[in-house]
């Protein structure tokens, strides 16, 4: 009887153990399925991370190459400078901090015209950027585009430059600005916000047509419309006469510019101003000797305003 009970007990034990094992197996199988999903996700994450790492390694390689090229370039430039110093040139004043940099802004009003072509050719040949305060003229579409395409600043001067018309009231002035702005945008895609008042911001000619306070009304309206205006601090005198003497233009610019670190130079590229074009090489050479670099005006340039 005891043996019989033992036998049954062993069978029950085996059965219970089997149930336990099969239950555990089932639980493990369920867990295994979940782990499969986890493995898939982690493997995908790893793949993505490895791809990102490979990209960064490539980027680092390219940057290292660029770094080496720049270092070599600087070495060559330093050798050239050394050659110049050996030949007797004193370059110590030129190796100055950014804050003391002298910038000359060549500005040309009343174009475009045939003179603008020569000016653009000269600027291109000498790698100089300038600013053109243009009028609204027909038949010069390619010049408006060329000004923009060659990296210069195109800016608003006036559609008509008719003082009687533009300065009679604020609305007339803004309509004139809008007409020119639309013309420039249609041709070049540029919506310029740089402006120069015909006659300058402190002109008195406007008083004849709009009253003595017309500029005090126009200036805030122009600024509220988002424009930044620039007058000048170097006057080439090329508008003082119908056709100014070339040497007078050169001397005017160079004598006034040396007193400024930030020289905004007024010149004109209207059709009659042929001597301005002739004066340009000497002006640029003289300004370079004075330590100037050249740039085009932007809305962020240092302000030069009469009013």
Q: Does 164 bind other proteins (CB under 8 A)?
A: no
Between 145 and 288, name the residue whose CB sits nearer to other proteins. 288
197 contacts 203 by C-beta, under 8 angstroms:
yes
Stretches 2-10, 129-137, 227-235, 240-248: which one binds other proteins (CB under 8 A)? Answer: 2-10
Rounded least distance, CB 81 to other proteins, Å? 6
Where in 272-301 is the site for other proteins (CB under 8 A)? 277-278, 280-281, 284-285, 288-289, 291, 293
Rounded least distance, CB 210 to other proteins, Å? 40
Rounded least distance, CB 147 to other proteins, Å? 16
Between 219 and 253, name the residue whose CB sits nearer to other proteins. 253
| CA within 13 Å, CB half, 305 | 13
Among 6, 53, 225, 247, binds other proteins (CB under 8 A): 53
Q: Is 57 exposed, middle or buried (0-12, 13-18, 19+ CB in 10 A)?
A: exposed
The Cα–Cα gap between 25 and 22 comes to 5
The Cα–Cα gap between 175 and 258 comes to 38
Where in 112-141 is the site for other proteins (CB under 8 A)? 117-118, 121-122, 124-127
* Rounded (10°) angle between helices 246-257 and 274-289: 30
Q: Does 9 bind other proteins (CB under 8 A)?
A: no
Q: Does 243 bind other proteins (CB under 8 A)?
A: no
Rounded least distance, CB 84 to other proteins, Å? 6
Question: x-or-dash pattern for other proteins, window 58-77, by CB under 8 A?
Answer: -xx--xx-xx--xx-xx--x
Which residues of this protein are in contact with other proteins, per CB under 8 A?
4, 7, 10-11, 14-15, 17-19, 21-22, 24-25, 28-29, 31-32, 35-36, 38-39, 42-43, 45-46, 49-50, 52-53, 56-57, 59-60, 63-64, 66-67, 70-71, 73-74, 77-78, 80-81, 84, 89, 91, 94-95, 117-118, 121-122, 124-127, 277-278, 280-281, 284-285, 288-289, 291, 293
């Amino acid at each position: 009887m005891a043996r019989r009970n033992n036998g049954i007990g062993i069978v029950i034990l085996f059965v219970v153990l089997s149930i336990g094992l099969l239950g555990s197996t089932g639980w493990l199988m369920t867990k295994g399925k979940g782990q499969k999903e986890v493995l898939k996700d982690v493997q995908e994450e790893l793949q993505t991370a490895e791809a990102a790492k490979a990209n960064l390694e490539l980027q680092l390689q390219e940057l290292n190459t660029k770094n080496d090229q720049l270092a070599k370039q600087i070495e060559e430039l330093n050798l050239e400078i050394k050659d110049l110093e050996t030949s007797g040139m004193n370059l110590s004043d030129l190796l100055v901090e950014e804050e003391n940099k002298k910038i000359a802004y060549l500005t040309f009003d009343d174009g475009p015209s045939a003179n603008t072509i020569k000016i653009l050719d000269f600027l291109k040949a000498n790698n100089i950027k300038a600013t053109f305060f243009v009028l609204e003229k027909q038949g010069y579409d390619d010049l408006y585009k060329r000004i923009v395409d060659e990296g210069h600043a195109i800016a608003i001067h006036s559609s008509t430059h008719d003082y009687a018309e533009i300065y009679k009231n604020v609305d007339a002035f803004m309509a004139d600005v809008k007409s020119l702005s639309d013309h420039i945008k249609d041709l070049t895609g540029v919506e310029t916000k740089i402006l120069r008042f015909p006659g300058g911001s402190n002109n008195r000619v406007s008083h004849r047509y709009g009253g003595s306070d017309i500029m005090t009304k126009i200036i805030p309206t122009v600024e509220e419309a988002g424009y930044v205006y620039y007058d000048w601090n170097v006057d080439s005198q090329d508008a003082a006469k119908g056709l100014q003497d070339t040497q007078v233009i050169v001397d005017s610019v160079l004598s006034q510019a040396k007193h400024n670190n930030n020289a905004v130079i007024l010149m004109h590229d209207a059709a009659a101003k042929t001597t301005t074009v002739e004066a340009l090489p000497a002006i640029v050479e003289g300004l370079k000797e004075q330590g100037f670099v050249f740039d085009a005006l932007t809305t962020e340039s240092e302000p030069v305003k009469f009013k």
